[in-house]
Amino acid sequence: MADVKIDLKNLKAGGFIKERGKDLFTVRLRVPGGRMSVERLSRIARVAQKYGKGFVHLSVRQSIELININFADFDAVVAELGEDQQKVASCGARVRVPTACGGCEYNPNGLVDTQQSALEVDEKLFGTVTGHHKFKVGFAGCPFDCPKSATNDVGLQGAVWPELDAEECISCGLCAKSCTEGALSMGEDGRPVFGAEKCIYCGDCIKVCPTGAWKTVKRGYSVRIGGKWGRRPLVGTLYATFLPEDRVVDFIGSVLAWYVEKAEGAGRVRIGDIILREGSDSLLDHLRKDFPEYVLDRTILPQIIDTQLPLQKQ
Given the rule CB under 6 A, which of 18-26, 102-110, 217-225, 259-267 is the region that contacts ligand SF4? 102-110
In terms of phi and psi (left: phi > 0; alpha: psi -120 to 50; beta: otherwise), the region of 128 is beta
Is the Cβ–Cβ distance between 241 and 265 less than 8 Å? no
Given the rule CB under 6 A, which of 34-42, 68-76, 168-176, 234-242 is the region that contacts ligand SF4? 168-176
Report d(CA 203, CA 142) in Å as an integer.
9
Site string for ligand SF4, 177-196 (x = CB under 6 A): -xx-x-xx-------x----
Q: Which of 174, 238, 276, 284 is the binder for ligand SF4 (CB under 6 A)?
A: 174
Q: Which of 148, 240, 252 is nearest to 201 (CA)?
A: 240
Residue number with the shortest CB distance to ligand SF4? 141
Closest contact distance (angstroms) between CB of 254 and ligand SF4 is 25
CA dihedral (201, 237, 271, 249) in degrees, to 10, reads 10
170 binds ligand SF4 (CB under 6 A): yes
Q: Which of 260, 258, 239 is nearest to 302 (CA)?
A: 239
DSSP assignment of 202-270 = --HHHHH-TT--EEEEEEEEEEEES-B-SSS-EE-EEEEEEE-GGGHHHHHHHHHHHHHHHTTTS-S--
214 binds ligand SF4 (CB under 6 A): yes
Element (H, E) at 103: none
Q: Which of 107, 128, 254, 303 is the binder for ligand SF4 (CB under 6 A)?
A: 107
Closest contact distance (angstroms) between CB of 12 and ligand SF4 is 31
Q: Which of 118, 213, 234, 243 is the binder for ligand SF4 (CB under 6 A)?
A: 213
Closest contact distance (angstroms) between CB of 217 and ligand SF4 is 11
Planar angle of CA 198, 155, 251, nearest 5 degrees: 105
Size of the site for ligand SF4 (CB under 6 A): 38
229 binds ligand SF4 (CB under 6 A): no
| CA dihedral sign of residues 41, 46, 47, 48 | positive
Q: Which of 31, 118, 175, 234 is the binder for ligand SF4 (CB under 6 A)?
A: 175
244 binds ligand SF4 (CB under 6 A): no
163 binds ligand SF4 (CB under 6 A): no
Is the Cβ–Cβ distance between 237 and 226 less than 8 Å? yes
Length of the chain: 314
Site string for ligand SF4, 114-143 (x = CB under 6 A): --------------------------xxx-
109 binds ligand SF4 (CB under 6 A): yes
Element (H, E) at 17: strand 16-18
Per CB under 6 A, residues contacting ligand SF4 are 101-102, 107, 109-110, 140-142, 144-146, 162, 164, 169-175, 178-179, 181, 183-184, 192, 199-205, 208-209, 211, 213-214
